[in-house]
Structure 1
Amino acid sequence: MRSAAVVGTGLIGTSIALALRGRGVTTYLIDTNPEAARIAADLGAGIAGRPRVPVDLAVLAVPPQHVAAALKEHQSQDLAHDFTDAASVKELPQRQAARAGCDLTRFVGGHPMGGREQSGPLAAKDDLFQGRPWVLTPSPETRVQAVERARRLAELCGARPVVMAHAEHDRAVALTSHAPHLVSSLLAARLLHGEQTQLGLAGQGLQDVTRLAAGSAELWTDILGSNAVAVADVLAEFALDLHQVVDALRGLGTVREPEQRRAHTELLSTALVRGIQGRARIPARSTTPGPNMSTAFAAAPRGA
């Protein structure tokens, strides 16, 4: 891939552009806010403005609800031969793009699994996706060349391409990203009710658990709303676990009968042990890109 365009020069778009420029790809930067594109260009992420001829691949680094409109606009303007996106929800944008009459043969959904709680081009890093999974969600209509270009994009950014169906991806990120963000936000919101003397005792544990809550409320309202059912399913099960723990704690605070106290203690201990077991299942972050995944595209399910 020799040329690319990045539409949306926030954290993700600028990080992608920085990685591409570092690998010698001529990269153009487009944003509805010209100042954001200029800042990204000043950081060395590419050339602010549209190319004179179509580039090999355009990356739509915009929120989920804007993917279809951006795809329609830039396909009509012949910005690129093929298109991908970087939104963290895949099923809804795909349906919206189909309804909008976009050329789905030249589009493959994408989601680089990397980010930070900061936003904007100044928070971008050229190694943000190093060793991270980069999900690709080709539809039955997607042509092979579009998938190959999106795969190459992921590799140039140091990521590991992974093919998934749209719905499968959305269920996965509901569990691993979207629900955790909302839980972090809800916990952080409880601090609004704390006294300053209480907050003065906060340590690194609280910082770690609430780090995600610092993310953009506007962006995350879009993300969570675009994957609402899958996130609600995860949170409903989480709420059941939470209610059990609340009941156990209430019991330990009020019950004196030894047998009942043992039952409540066992419930509490089980919840903590399951947390340890669950955390142990998180794969260690790789520092190097994975093997070439080109053979996986032929074998992976292609349905939307």
Structure 2
Amino acid sequence: MTPIEDAGIGSVVVVGTGLIGTSIALALRQRDVRVFLADRDAGAVRLARELGAGEDWTGEQRADLAVVAVPPQFVAQQLLDLQKRDSARFYTDVASVKALPLAQAAQLGCDLTTYVAGHPLAGRERSGPAAARADLFLGRPWAYCPTDEASPRAVAAVERLISLCGGNAVRVDAAEHDRAVAVVSHAPHVTAAAVAARLAEASETALGLSGQGVRDVTRIAASDPALWTGILEGNALPVAEVLEALVDDLSAAARSLRALAGDGAAMGQVTDLLSRGVRGTGRIPGKHGGPARTYAVVQVLIGDRPGELARLVQAAGETGVNIEDIRLEHATGLELGAAELYVRPEAAEALTHGLRERGWQVPG
């Protein structure tokens, strides 16, 4: 990363005070960067300001860097407007597609020497400034896509922004970026929505039987449809290609299941799909971006009361075992749930024994 003296990031204008824009502003404020906030929605700016994300931008203050945090289809025009006003020395954006804004910026005649397209791969199913967090980007990949025209100082400024926010900078070509996010983000969102859509007409019996599995699969489907319509429109062809491949796999699985009654061998295609799913899951990077690990799961019964999770974490810490991940599953109709503690396989027995000694119910 370039030192802050070289990058010169002392002030930033954030245009768009939604989840990502406000989270960037909060992260920068923690690093004593002066932040100016702008949005067409005065209420969003006011809330972001009340959260401590920065101060109102009058349009007169010139910043070191301007961050365009608007939907993909509006990035280029917003960039042009900012550059016409000489609002900053350098510019970036946070849209989840990159080829479209870059192409439109070139068509509009934007100054590409001062602009470096970016995309932090972090988010939540909730939107708006109220959902923002200063730590949203910690350890998360943050793609940036310099063109040949981008100046070294513009690139350094964006690298410094990523560093200040705690992100993991990943330099990548714009077209390659869009193909990649189609696989790991955009098509999965559409798929989650398709599964969740089945629940809209599901019976009360089915909903009453739902567990953590369906919650895991559909969690991201709760995101703002209007926001995602813009994202998918901006990356339509790469997403369509991934979805078509998914449809082929699902169609083959459906045909095999229909044929199963008369042909036991038909299950082979389903088994193959499930096996490829396991292999694919195993390729998702693990903690700190390292190789994926296989963890043991220690399930602990936990009351649905204030402070219970904190007590459990403290008890686990007393055993000397490091908890790699925690997931909660609530029991329908009961003030009781289960906490799933993910640990190294060799530590599972010690954790189980230690928690039972401290009075926790550990099934099995």
Residue 137 to residue 287, structure 1, CA distance change in 2 (3 Å): closer
- Supply the distance in 2 between the matched residues of 1:16 and 1:53 (Cα, whole angstroms): 19
> Contact 2:97/2:231 (CA < 8 Å) preserved in 1?
yes
Structure 1 residue 51: Cα displacement: 5.8
Q: Give the alignment partner of residue 36 of structure 1, picking from 44, 47, 50.
A: 44
Structure 1 residue 265: Cα displacement: 2.2
Tell me, what secondary structure is at the counterpart of 1:9?
Answer: coil
Q: Give the alignment partner of residue 141 of structure 1, picking from 138, 145, 149.
A: 149
- Supply the distance in 1 between the matched residues of 2:115 and 2:102 (Cα, whole angstroms): 9
- Superposed CA offset, 1:51-81 (max 9, x none): 6431110000111001001101111111111
Greater helix share, structure number = 1
Give the letter for the 2:90 counterpart.
Answer: D
The answer for the alignment partner of 2:250 in structure 1 is 242
- Supply the distance in 2 between the matched residues of 1:196 and 1:57 (Cα, whole angstroms): 52
- Supply the distance in 1 between the matched residues of 2:271 and 2:100 (Cα, whole angstroms): 40
Q: Give the alignment partner of residue 5 of structure 1, picking from 10, 13, 34.
A: 13
- Superposed CA offset, 1:173-205 (max 9, x none): 000000000000011111122111221111111
Tell me, what secondary structure is at the counterpart of 1:193?
Answer: coil
- Supply the distance in 2 between the matched residues of 1:220 and 1:105 (Cα, whole angstroms): 30
The answer for the alignment partner of 2:276 in structure 1 is 274
Q: Give the alignment partner of residue 180 of structure 1, picking from 188, 191, 196.
A: 188
Give the letter for the 2:214 counterpart.
Answer: L
Which residues of structure 1 form unaligned runs of 5+?
289-304
Structure 1 residue 270: Cα displacement: 1.6
Q: Give the alignment partner of residue 32 of structure 2, picking from 8, 15, 24.
A: 24
- Supply the distance in 2 between the matched residues of 1:13 and 1:204 (Cα, whole angstroms): 31
The answer for the alignment partner of 1:299 in structure 2 is none
- Length, aligned pairs only: 282
- Supply the distance in 1 between the matched residues of 2:230 and 2:68 (Cα, whole angstroms): 16
- Supply the distance in 2 between the matched residues of 1:47 and 1:98 (Cα, whole angstroms): 31
- Supply the distance in 2 between the matched residues of 1:179 and 1:268 (Cα, whole angstroms): 21
> Contact 1:110/1:134 (CA < 8 Å) preserved in 2?
yes
> Contact 1:131/1:285 (CA < 8 Å) preserved in 2?
no
Tell me, what secondary structure is at the counterpart of 2:200?
Answer: helix
- Supply the distance in 2 between the matched residues of 1:120 and 1:130 (Cα, whole angstroms): 19
More off after superposition, 189-198 vs 130-139: 189-198
- Which structure has the higher relative contact order (CA within 8 Å, separation 6+)? 1
The answer for the alignment partner of 2:238 in structure 1 is 230
- Supply the distance in 2 between the matched residues of 1:34 and 1:240 (Cα, whole angstroms): 46
- Supply the distance in 1 between the matched residues of 2:176 and 2:289 (Cα, whole angstroms): 25
- Supply the distance in 1 between the matched residues of 2:287 and 2:89 (Cα, whole angstroms): 33
TM-score (norm 1): 0.90
Residue 287 to residue 237, structure 1, CA distance change in 2 (3 Å): closer
> Contact 2:13/2:57 (CA < 8 Å) preserved in 1?
no
TM-score (norm 2): 0.76
Structure 1 residue 269: Cα displacement: 1.6
Structure 1 residue 49: Cα displacement: 2.0
Structure 1 residue 287: Cα displacement: 8.6
The answer for the alignment partner of 2:133 in structure 1 is 125
Q: Give the alignment partner of residue 189 of structure 1, picking from 166, 174, 197.
A: 197
> Contact 1:28/1:51 (CA < 8 Å) preserved in 2?
no
- Supply the distance in 1 between the matched residues of 2:253 and 2:58 (Cα, whole angstroms): 55
The answer for the alignment partner of 1:162 in structure 2 is 170
Structure 1 residue 155: Cα displacement: 0.5
- Supply the distance in 1 between the matched residues of 2:122 and 2:272 (Cα, whole angstroms): 32
The answer for the alignment partner of 1:293 in structure 2 is none
The answer for the alignment partner of 2:337 in structure 1 is none
More off after superposition, 62-71 vs 184-193: 184-193
Tell me, what secondary structure is at the counterpart of 1:174?
Answer: helix
The answer for the alignment partner of 1:83 in structure 2 is 91
Tell me, what secondary structure is at the counterpart of 1:104?
Answer: coil
> Contact 2:27/2:134 (CA < 8 Å) preserved in 1?
yes
> Contact 1:87/1:111 (CA < 8 Å) preserved in 2?
yes
More off after superposition, 277-286 vs 227-236: 277-286
- Identity percentage of aligned residues: 50
- Supply the distance in 1 between the matched residues of 2:133 and 2:66 (Cα, whole angstroms): 19
> Contact 2:37/2:54 (CA < 8 Å) preserved in 1?
yes
- Supply the distance in 2 between the matched residues of 1:268 and 1:55 (Cα, whole angstroms): 56
Tell me, what secondary structure is at the counterpart of 2:12?
Answer: strand
> Contact 1:130/1:287 (CA < 8 Å) preserved in 2?
no
- Superposed CA offset, 1:135-157 (max 9, x none): 01011111111110000000101
- Supply the distance in 1 between the matched residues of 2:287 and 2:101 (Cα, whole angstroms): 28
The answer for the alignment partner of 1:295 in structure 2 is none
- Supply the distance in 2 between the matched residues of 1:50 and 1:233 (Cα, whole angstroms): 44
